[in-house]
Structure 1
């Protein structure tokens, strides 16, 4: 877990990189629960994202899970490396394994701090 990130209860993280732009990924907790990730399906550039709504799919050797957007905005970039090499979600969830960048106007108030997310995953 990384302190400067915000987290959703759907196990995605948000890193605000500039005014109105954020990087979104899957938490290390989710990656560990999923097991070995073998496929990632992401939205297209310019697709609209709605906080709490499905934005893609992640498949592991154990299961297939939906990815949910932690914010409302527009996809500005897809991490093609994670599409081509999905195991980056397991090996580097906060660095090389990010999913996409998105523009947004406001962040949802229900995003959690690192401490709150840790407490959430331990309960």
Structure 2
């Protein structure tokens, strides 16, 4: 069974075995506005929790997407390079950025569950 957790930087991560699928939250894509460009990591790149994983540009701003867990990039969503608006249309589904082979599953447990993340976002308004 896979579970979704959230970071304070507004990334989501879905863990399935030792594979983590990562994207940005609905809140993050709303704040960005229309996404016009996505820069994805190279397959094989090792990323550390809290460090830059990808880059997303919108009509408003450019923003880093941080890795909520450490691991090695094993797959990227190349659809986003051709249709970056997918991030706006389905941020928590088809708008995922990358999949990592997780280095330390314990990092996943330190992230917020959906209820905690929703409370965190409410506090930002």
TM-score, reference length from structure 1: 0.92
Alignment of 1:1-123 (within 5 A): 4-17=3-16, 19-107=17-105, 108=107, 109-123=109-123
Please tell me whether the aligned partners of residues 72 and 103 of structure 2 are also in contact (alpha carbons under 8 angstroms): no
2:37–2:81 CA contact under 8 A, matched in 1? yes
Give 4+ residue runs of structure 1 displaced > 4 Å after superposition.
Answer: none
SS of the aligned residue for 1:94 comes to coil
Q: Structure 2: where are the runs of 5+ without partners?
A: none
Distance 1:83 1:23 in 2: 17
Give the paired residue count. 119
Q: Runs of 5+ in structure 1 lacking a partner?
A: none
